Amino acid sequence: MADYMVQETSGTRAIRYAGLVVAIHWLSAALILSQIYLGFAFADLPKGSAERAELFTLHKTVGVVILLLALGRLAVRLIDAPPPYPASFPKWERRVAVWSHRLFYFLMIALPVTGLAAVSKKAVGGWTELVGGSWFPVVPIPALGGAHELLAFALIGLVVLHVLAALKNQFLTGGPVAGRMPPFRATDKG
């Protein structure tokens, strides 16, 4: 089965992502980086402390927001496919880019789901409290919670790979692929 994101091209120039997609991308990026920090920060605090409980509630809340953003972005992506890569972008790099984005979607959904599973044992009536006194339903499969930490480290690795690839395409190899996601710009390299 051919993958249109690998096979099709936009020719010699890059087609930029739509404004809504760009906004969701950068908001998701900021939330994911915040989530990584929160995950490590509350884990270092003593169990039972008020500060740990506060950071944990914030961690759950940010996770739910990431889940909702990922589902919204996935819906947008299914309705309006992302632009194909420029012809100068090698097919092997297109494959890596396409599959890393798919893995991002998987992780942005799986991490909150496994997190909601991890808190299900202590849930009140099937719900967990979030910031501001709001509540969100848990996933009543506590066994899934064990995967949460492993998936978090996979996400950290993928974030590093993604950032390095973006910087490589902007500053080293360049070409039009760098211009797909603002604020990056297409260069005359490549």
Q: Is the pLDDT of residue 172 over 80?
A: yes
Q: Is the pLDDT of residue 2 over 50?
A: yes
More confident call, 185 vs 60: 60
Q: Is the pLDDT of residue 189 over 70?
A: no
Q: How much is the pLDDT for 58?
A: 97
Q: Is the pLDDT of residue 175 over 90?
A: no
Average pLDDT over residues 137-146: 91
Q: How much is the pLDDT for 53?
A: 95
Q: How much is the pLDDT for 151?
A: 98
Percent of the chain's residues with pLDDT above 70: 97
Q: Is the pLDDT of residue 1 over 90?
A: no
Q: Is the pLDDT of residue 152 over 80?
A: yes
Q: Lowest-pLDDT range, 15-29, 76-90, 108-122, 139-153?
A: 76-90
Q: Is the pLDDT of residue 188 over 70?
A: no
Q: How much is the pLDDT for 70?
A: 97
**In this structure, what token pair is assigned to residue 48?**
């039972």
pLDDT per residue over 100-123, tens digit each? 999 999 999 999 999 999 999 888
